[in-house]
Structure 1
């Protein structure tokens, strides 16, 4: 039950820009700047497993404002965002209840929600409903002006993204991510979320080779409304880690961001990867964090 005057309906791709603005407004309130990628919502709507008609909901105020939205992916991953102007009215609680009901409907035994650590009300809501902390996400930053560029390790060459290698890049990244995210992505799903996005930056995306073998990859995105470059994915083949390949790729990506006029390089990492210390050794520092909560239904 939403407050009087508020209405809800399934989202459409036409809502993507307004939803992006809603998320950005929340980030600005909490952190003084927006870090959401402009085409992130549209890319999520392209996920092949997402039933937009049944797995999304947008809420409008009586004046037509987009007050909130929610979505559920594969019955297990929920996300709720409420515009700062409409918090405290119970809309977030109603949307969390909707994601839980939808998750039960598709037969899920559990579901997860991610909440910004600056959102005290959102974190309190999760705990009050029996959610437990599953993981932490950290947004890391690296000032490009102070980043030293180092040579690649012996036997390793670093080049800009090559479209001919797209399937090999997908296989490498999917294998690396499967170590902490069991669900594998098809090439089509991965491509829609990365190299087929409007914000994809092939020149800032970096590939590493040992001889002719692909052993590392960075997928970079543009943040046109900021002075930052965004690293969407980083992966190094398991047998080639701890050799400095990630550092060499990140140096090359940051250098290209610098040529594009960007002041910082940013990326998210997940506690399940165990990669935070590695990134800190690469000169990155934590800017902010989110918490992933999980509840058995």
Structure 2
């Protein structure tokens, strides 16, 4: 285990387990409410992410505790990628700096050459990372479609079909999504089992959560993964992708309209998604009536 150095007196650190997911979600929720005025995280996403077959929770996570109370946590979760949060009641004690040092050591031990994380723009987390010498990598946005707005149903090109994913659609959808994301992200292709853990492995998965478009030959050429938050209030488009040779046909708009219609049909009053400056998709979402809810900045540091 990689230790967390220079913690305030009386605090302890240990690797996390799946049973700590609720405590991690509570810390992240408190931090987001303090900064953004509302929470974005759901425990179900943490559970699904940590349940990926390739993810070693013991070596890739750490929590800082005062007795049984979790005050902060950090994880290294993919190529040059991590996350961390400190409960707002315990900012200014050096916990965030200690967790940042742990993230660097953990990533270095995994053979990484860089590690970073997203933080809300203007937040204490952003100030900390800048003070620690991190550099800006990209900007991301959380967008919301207000409850009094909807995306009009989009027509499909002749011969194309939209449907909820069946068993035979899962692996083709995986290739469409991963290949599209790898056009602008620098990482290896995610193993299929890891990708599936975030789809069918999501604690609340239902077939309508994955929508696909098939071309006239029956091949899956576009896909969108959508979920409801733990309270059922917001529908969130987690992934959306169109195969490179099928772009320009309006398939992304078809999937967006279908995804948000499905979440509202299942009780959601708000629709959300996130995108970042590497994708060039911001104008698409603004163009269908979505609004920027919060802005995040991803910072990294060479190891």
TM-score range for the pair, normalised by the shorter chain length: over 0.9
**2:51 corresponds to:** 46
- Residue 189 in 1 paired to residue 188 in 2? no
- Residue 126 in 1 paired to residue 136 in 2? no
**1:79 corresponds to which of 79, 83, 87:** 83
TM (norm. structure 1) is 0.93
Question: Across the two proteins, how many residue pairs are aligned to each other?
Answer: 295
1:107-145 deviations in Å (ceiling 9; x for gaps): 3322212212242x2111111222110011111111354
Tell me: CA distance 1:199–1:117, structure 2 relative to 1, closer, same or farther (3 Å).
farther
Q: Distance in 2 between matches of 1:87 and 1:154?
A: 53
Equivalence map 1:156-235=2 (5 Å): 156-181=160-185, 182-211=187-216, 212-235=218-241
Q: Distance in 1 between matches of 2:79 and 2:161?
A: 42
Q: Quick check: 1:141–1:285 contact (8 Å CA) kept in 2?
A: yes
Q: Distance in 2 between matches of 1:286 and 1:150?
A: 22
Q: Quick check: 2:151–2:256 contact (8 Å CA) kept in 1?
A: no
Tell me: CA distance 1:227–1:219, structure 2 relative to 1, closer, same or farther (3 Å).
same
Q: Quick check: 1:24–1:35 contact (8 Å CA) kept in 2?
A: yes
Partner secondary structure for residue 23 of structure 2: helix
Tell me: CA distance 1:132–1:234, structure 2 relative to 1, closer, same or farther (3 Å).
same
Q: Quick check: 1:138–1:289 contact (8 Å CA) kept in 2?
A: yes
Q: Quick check: 1:149–1:252 contact (8 Å CA) kept in 2?
A: no
Partner secondary structure for residue 274 of structure 2: strand
Equivalence map 1:81-160=2 (5 Å): 81-119=85-123, 121-155=124-158, 156-160=160-164
Partner secondary structure for residue 208 of structure 2: coil
**2:285 corresponds to:** 279
Q: Alpha carbon RMSD of aligned pairs, Å?
A: 1.7
Partner secondary structure for residue 196 of structure 2: helix
Q: Distance in 1 between matches of 2:233 and 2:209?
A: 14
- Residue 57 in 1 paired to residue 59 in 2? no
User: Structure 2: 5+ residue runs without aligned partners?
Assistant: 1-5
User: Structure 1: 5+ residue runs without aligned partners?
Assistant: none
**2:18 corresponds to which of 10, 13, 16:** 13
CA displacement at 1:282 relative to structure 2: 2.2
Partner secondary structure for residue 245 of structure 2: helix
CA displacement at 1:204 relative to structure 2: 4.3
CA displacement at 1:28 relative to structure 2: 1.6
**2:294 corresponds to:** 288
Q: Quick check: 1:49–1:74 contact (8 Å CA) kept in 2?
A: no
Tell me: CA distance 1:88–1:158, structure 2 relative to 1, closer, same or farther (3 Å).
same
